[in-house]
Amino acid sequence: MKRVIFLCTGNSARSQLAEALLRHQAGHFFEVFSAGSQPHDIDPRTIAALQKFHLPVDGLQSKSIDEFAGQSFDYVITLCDKARQECAQLPQAREV
């Protein structure tokens, strides 16, 4: 199974949404994760958007990119320029 991680600065909105959407649409093909370079609380609008599309919100929490140190991913997808700069070294990926 291919491993994908979505990265943004706060892991509070964009990367959380991307993780949830890919997991919902193609979770049987991918192990999906998200993280941030400076994680903070999940944006309430993120929760509202996921609920609107009947996607699970239980257990949502921001995660630091540091939690994935040493892990390899097939795809690392950065969702903002700041995250791309800050996360250039982590995690290991076959494609960015």
What are the catalytic residues? 8, 80, 87
Q: Could you tell me if 57 and 51 are in contact, meaning their C-beta atoms sit under 8 angstroms apart?
A: yes
Q: Which of 80, 73, 89, 91 is nearest to 10 (CA)?
A: 80
Q: Enumerate residues 6+ apart whose C-beta is below 8 A from 75.
A: 2, 3, 4, 5, 93, 94, 95, 96
